[in-house]
Structure 1
Amino acid sequence: MHGPVAAAWLLVALCAATGAYCLLRMRSGVEEQRRAAGGEALMGFGMAVMAVPAAVFTPPEWTWPLYVAVFAGAALHALWAARAAPHHLHHLVGAGAMVYMSVTMTAAPSAAHHAHAHGGAGAPALTGALLLYFTGYVLLSGARLVPATGTGMAVGVTSSGPAALRWGDRPELARACRLSMAIGMVAMLLTM
């Protein structure tokens, strides 16, 4: 059982580090970056708490309905934001996945958390659809992070030297943040 517990702690560390970086991104000078970073920080920290191994900490029963309420609110916010910026649909799917996993935990808190931490028995259609979405997202966003060859210019570099981009405004770091959370989501959904 050391393998799954170690993997769960790695997932906790990945999600918490991503959430912390997203909090730092909220200091960006670009308003859209700040908005996206807030939702991503919530998602990162929520995933980190949900991934804590059940052998270490079993949350009280009231935790899961609270998770449902928080992430349902985040989903509504993402739906509202998607009217103006369609890329918020990904945030909507992520928040919806967190609602789904929280509802699963609410239905059978101790058994579901144990199954979540150590691998579940079944794969309902919604779990499969979410797995397909996030796996596709991981593959697509991972491919986008690979630098293009033959362009002669790196991201953030102009002909006169490095561009004056603040580290919180760098688009490749934001994509890496979303990629790591999508990888974490795939890992969590696989244990449902």
Structure 2
Amino acid sequence: MHGSASPGWLLVALCAVTGGYCLLRMRSTVEEQRRAAGGEALMGFGMAAMAVPAAVFTPPAWVWPAYAALFGAAALRALWSARSSAHHLHHLVGASAMVYMAVAMAASPGSHHHAHGGSGIPLVTGALLLYFAGYVLLSGVRLVPVAAAPRSGRALGWGDRPELARACRLSMGIAMVAMLLTM
């Protein structure tokens, strides 16, 4: 990614904290929540690493193909998991976006954190921007408080708080929009 270092570091912090919380969510007693949290933790930490400002660290050339392979495997896993849960389709789009950005960064001159010079917005970037902008808006609406459903009387653990999981997904969606805008 290119641009000023301050927004880059804010993006790194946002994604790393989100990834960390997703690791906590993996301790949930609900298997589906644990599985989703694992994919979201990978996305959070992967986005944090990808957002490190190029002025601070320029990764070696082998990093981008490794990212593409890692997130390609995550996309295949999300595709397989989508058979049982539609939420995994979002993970598929997110992992595919990470593959796209890694390939674009590998193909950029000098393999720095910028992918497209002044060539305008490529079709795939535009489509991903539209998807994630819509996802951010929908996630924001889902955070609007509604009447609380009666609970069984037991306190929810950190991994079972749906409003925190939604806030994390919103944060990662916003971060993805920011990363795509810098391409």
Same fold (TM over 0.5): yes
Percent sequence identity is 73
Partner of residue 101, structure 1: 101
After TM superposition, give the deviation of residue 77 of structure 1 in Å. Answer: 0.2
Larger Rg: 1
Secondary structure, aligned partner of 2:4? helix
CA contact (8 A) 1:58 1:110 kept: no
After TM superposition, give the deviation of residue 41 of structure 1 in Å. Answer: 0.4
Secondary structure, aligned partner of 2:99? helix
Paired with 1:107 and 1:9, the residues of 2 have a C-alpha distance of 24
CA contact (8 A) 2:23 2:38 kept: yes
Pick aligned residue for 1:172 from 163, 168, 180? 163
CA contact (8 A) 2:15 2:45 kept: yes
After TM superposition, give the deviation of residue 167 of structure 1 in Å. Answer: 2.1
Partner of residue 49, structure 1: 49
CA contact (8 A) 2:132 2:176 kept: yes
Paired with 1:47 and 1:189, the residues of 2 have a C-alpha distance of 11
After TM superposition, which residue ranges in structure 1, 4 or more long, deviate above 4 angstroms? none
CA contact (8 A) 2:15 2:44 kept: yes
Partner of residue 140, structure 2: 142
Size of the alignment, in residue pairs?
Answer: 180
CA contact (8 A) 1:25 1:34 kept: yes
- Superposition RMSD on alpha carbons, in Å? 1.8
Paired with 1:59 and 1:171, the residues of 2 have a C-alpha distance of 36
Task: Could you tell me which runs of 5 or more consecutive residues in structure 2 were left unpaired when the two chains were aligned.
Answer: none
Paired with 1:167 and 1:26, the residues of 2 have a C-alpha distance of 10
After TM superposition, give the deviation of residue 185 of structure 1 in Å. Answer: 0.1
Partner of residue 183, structure 1: 174
**Superposed CA offset, 1:80-99 (max 9, x none):** 00011111000000000000
After TM superposition, give the deviation of residue 110 of structure 1 in Å. Answer: 3.0
CA contact (8 A) 2:136 2:170 kept: yes
